[in-house]
Structure 1
């Protein structure tokens, strides 16, 4: 077994988790609150300190201008979120979550952690993957490997029976993304056969659809209300969505101008308003099965991953498609992190994993733009020429030769794309490379183009003119969503200067946020009591006496558990 500490991280849209591979297998690491799931939320506290996790999530309703979540959906874009007077990129917000998870892992292991395996949606493109690596760098972590989420889930399941031969279909619906992968397990070898998905479809979209329906019942438009009111409406929609996983009908109430207005939603109505979202789930499933050259009957196991698969509408769709119930013996919220820890164990050459081999595939087709002839001296640009086909086993390296349209050309502008459309306008441009050509009109102006795609989903492009033998490698510049080295260094300094709560104060920040939320949700005598408790706890914090603070926190936990446990619906 290696002494190298490599952790596995599930960086999620809604929640994030960290796990380690130990002698008994993968183990989830609790955070400072003793919970294994850390909400992917970031905000500022009243004292100007940065809050991460539950303390931030609990302030989404009360301080929407100082708190944010769901930023993973913007990874790989130039979108910025304003918290107070400061703006943050998605990489920076993700880095704050990663930094918190790293601290939890270091407390658990008792040593410094500098390396991680991080899970990403299988359908994350090259830009989104690079943004994830940048976020890890901001958090002081080197990415040993990016592992696709369904692959990580299959690793967690595959360890239970390493000798059995089986073909998995993994359906992974998280808060913000949807992935499907087909894997085969035989003699300790886990081989990915095909991947497909939708990087902009997740449980949050079902919440949004329900929030719109509740707004219709209440006579309000979610887009027209204030940020705080919109956050309250989404929170109500989320609660009702969770209720529908267990009940045929969910009910609640929404307060408008001091008046409590009742709302309700049946499971049938929920299925109706989310019908288009459910239809979007079918296509990636069908594509993955087709790409693997299989039929539905060839699949031995159907595994569901991600908290959104708890929805009866989703489970019902999968059951109807495959005429059997999917498996969920491992908690769908935990399985990706556990699988990432298995991959971390493989990377660290853990003794318990000596007989496990993992292969993966490229989820997208990678190619470049070409012009096609329409007639004599007539060419039409904008066509896509594939070089590495989707679902090619990785690492993979493929080469092809290209030539300029005219002999007097002095350069070829190689435009690199990712996608499945025959036209580049419908694919994702991930870079470009200008290749100088010899000036001699008689010289051979053929250029060999080579793409190399590694197991972390990172693409290297090489272009070598036959005449000069001088190889140029891809340097992506000006690509939307990517950051230059200078920008990364500048943001690193800014993040280092942020005032972050120490680990032993995160628990206190979370308790204060819960007390304030309980105060705002209560009335009369109970509200006065909670206000008094909050003032007392603030006074205890000023003593800096850790034992006294711990005792006060334990007492408040009991009180809050009773108050929050009351079901008003």
Structure 2
């Protein structure tokens, strides 16, 4: 059985192709959405999902979220006494989704399709695959998120000649893809995006405006001086962002030093402050339209994906650009996971999907560093030579021939880049490799450089010295985003040694984490009442009487629902 996973910045989902349909799998709390958050409990045990997200406020130094943004980098996260890479935190989320799938299906799961932003680079894709391995999954394919969304809609709406534009604005990334459907073939025409633009940036707009207009004058310290307070502020800003989807105004209340600071923001103020982000959204859209050689009025279907596309300002911008209303039959939070489940069905060769063929494209140009001889016989170094250009249909294998640049050269070192700039210094280096050559005059020895790019977006580079027949294959050196197989195995062993809270205790963990968060937020008698209820519940848990625990948890949750008027899912 192959499962499909949407590994998101804010929330993650898991689905399966079953009975000729994509079906999403609920977690232990009965929700389809599992927050992409990890926390370390006071006893060192790992919490994943909703309990961990609740602890972002009450225990910010032991909790982490939005780590997907740092996949493929050296960024580490300190959770209590432990340090994790983004891959390891993602692996813990994937482990949780795997456990949910196994409980739902009643059988072990070892293979998965995992979605990634279309604009994820080579290091980020390899990091995602490594996270899957650490979670005990064989990653059958990395599927681009916009492609997954179009795949879900393509099958739901039936086949036809259509040009689909997918705007995927998640918590941390933005992707745009243009796909063409004809006679059962889904062909990606172009992709573009921004890996550091998402719903979290719109939350930052509200945080920054609060601090400028009310926070500084109220004596609110900077984030570096009070991580706990700013975790609360970010949560209040997230609530405000969501509330402004349906209301014209929202008030934030922040408690600091026993004093409540109140500040209101209108939808119009929020949208005005978000203008720089909207301009950043337009740039990848325009690039994708140009690369696909389309006019905006040729787009037949406009699909919005990701929770951040619920913001009216984003929906209006999209509708204005393409003069049409977006398709919204599938929840923007769920559509990518459903597409991943469809891809899992394709991988399993389900008969219901026999007529579906899908192609994808390379989101970046990929090439090498080179030099050029100028008119005065001097050389200009650091030029970029693309070998596979962006939006080339994949899988693909392309080659170009280069020659030695200096007399007596014994080795040619190649630096591998992705990007679009003329100078390699302005692109992203993803690896290096070298090949020995017989010494001789400049230009005598020729080397064939072949790039092979697969459907998961993973790159292989092969060098062939024409005169000797010697070949060398790419080995990534010094790239901080890529773990060696030995490092993956070592970190996998480390994750196996962690104490993970049992899945059947998830409801209790979630209630306690939520109550602790409310205790942090409230003051006076309400805080005292919450504290007493938490203590009583902990004592009850120690007694390990399931019927009493369930009865108390139900009543406790109902009481929290009445108190927590700003809860968001």
TM category (shorter chain) comes to over 0.9
1:555 and 1:433 map into 2 onto residues whose CA distance is 63
Residue equivalent to 2:69: 73
Residue equivalent to 2:254: 254
1:442 and 1:56 map into 2 onto residues whose CA distance is 60
Query: Which structure 1 segments of 5+ residues have no match?
Result: none
Q: CA offset at residue 524 of structure 1? A: 4.8
Q: CA offset at residue 444 of structure 1? A: 5.2
Residues 177-199 of structure 1, C-alpha deviations (whole Å, 9 max, x = no match): 00000001122211100000001
1:534 and 1:149 map into 2 onto residues whose CA distance is 40
Residues 14-71 of structure 1, C-alpha deviations (whole Å, 9 max, x = no match): 1111111111411111111111111111111122211111101101111111111111
Indicate if the aligned counterparts of 2:403 and 2:443 stay in contact, CA closer than 8 A.
Answer: no
1:224 and 1:527 map into 2 onto residues whose CA distance is 26
Residue equivalent to 1:392: 392
Change (3 A) 1:446 1:351: same
Q: Structure 1 stretch 201-210 or stretch 370-379: which is displaced more?
A: 370-379
Equivalent residue for 2:86, pick from 90, 105, 119 = 90
1:253 and 1:559 map into 2 onto residues whose CA distance is 21
The alignment's TM-score, normalised by the length of structure 2, stands at 0.96
Indicate if the aligned counterparts of 2:396 and 2:454 stay in contact, CA closer than 8 A.
Answer: yes
Instruction: Report the secondary structure of 2:371's partner residue.
Output: strand
Residue equivalent to 1:201: 197
Instruction: Report the secondary structure of 2:241's partner residue.
Output: helix
Residues 249-304 of structure 1, C-alpha deviations (whole Å, 9 max, x = no match): 22221122211121111122111211111100001101111111110010001110
Query: Are 2:41 and 1:50 equivalent residues in the alignment?
Result: no
Change (3 A) 1:444 1:10: same
Residue equivalent to 1:189: 185
Q: CA offset at residue 566 of structure 1? A: 7.1
Query: Which structure 2 segments of 5+ residues have no match?
Result: none
Residues 127-177 of structure 1, C-alpha deviations (whole Å, 9 max, x = no match): 010010111111111110001110000011001133222110000000000
Indicate if the aligned counterparts of 1:222 and 1:233 stay in contact, CA closer than 8 A.
Answer: no
Residue equivalent to 1:140: 136
2:224 and 2:516 map into 1 onto residues whose CA distance is 26
Residue equivalent to 2:3: 7
Indicate if the aligned counterparts of 2:173 and 2:198 stay in contact, CA closer than 8 A.
Answer: yes
1:399 and 1:530 map into 2 onto residues whose CA distance is 66
Indicate if the aligned counterparts of 1:43 and 1:56 stay in contact, CA closer than 8 A.
Answer: yes
Equivalent residue for 1:39, pick from 35, 38, 59 = 35
Q: How many aligned positions are there?
A: 564
1:199 and 1:528 map into 2 onto residues whose CA distance is 43
Residue equivalent to 2:366: 366
1:346 and 1:546 map into 2 onto residues whose CA distance is 43
Residue equivalent to 1:425: 425
Residue equivalent to 2:156: 160
Q: Structure 1 stretch 532-541 or stretch 370-379: which is displaced more?
A: 532-541
Query: Are 2:123 and 1:124 equivalent residues in the alignment?
Result: no
Indicate if the aligned counterparts of 2:58 and 2:517 stay in contact, CA closer than 8 A.
Answer: yes
Indicate if the aligned counterparts of 1:367 and 1:384 stay in contact, CA closer than 8 A.
Answer: yes
The alignment's TM-score, normalised by the length of structure 1, stands at 0.96
2:566 and 2:474 map into 1 onto residues whose CA distance is 58
2:549 and 2:439 map into 1 onto residues whose CA distance is 76
Indicate if the aligned counterparts of 2:299 and 2:322 stay in contact, CA closer than 8 A.
Answer: no
Instruction: Report the secondary structure of 2:553's partner residue.
Output: helix
Indicate if the aligned counterparts of 1:211 and 1:222 stay in contact, CA closer than 8 A.
Answer: no
Indicate if the aligned counterparts of 1:212 and 1:222 stay in contact, CA closer than 8 A.
Answer: no
Q: CA offset at residue 522 of structure 1? A: 4.0
2:556 and 2:267 map into 1 onto residues whose CA distance is 37
Query: Are 2:69 and 1:64 equivalent residues in the alignment?
Result: no
1:557 and 1:317 map into 2 onto residues whose CA distance is 40
Q: Structure 1 stretch 457-466 or stretch 220-229: which is displaced more?
A: 220-229
1:526 and 1:198 map into 2 onto residues whose CA distance is 44
Residues 446-492 of structure 1, C-alpha deviations (whole Å, 9 max, x = no match): 11111000000000100000111122110112112222233222212
Indicate if the aligned counterparts of 1:462 and 1:472 stay in contact, CA closer than 8 A.
Answer: yes
Indicate if the aligned counterparts of 2:113 and 2:141 stay in contact, CA closer than 8 A.
Answer: yes
Q: CA offset at residue 222 of structure 1? A: 4.2
1:214 and 1:12 map into 2 onto residues whose CA distance is 27
Change (3 A) 1:566 1:360: closer
Indicate if the aligned counterparts of 2:405 and 2:442 stay in contact, CA closer than 8 A.
Answer: no
Q: CA offset at residue 412 of structure 1? A: 0.8
Residue equivalent to 2:238: 238
Equivalent residue for 1:169, pick from 165, 172, 188 = 165
RMSD: 1.8
Residue equivalent to 2:104: 108
Residue equivalent to 1:29: 25
2:8 and 2:466 map into 1 onto residues whose CA distance is 46
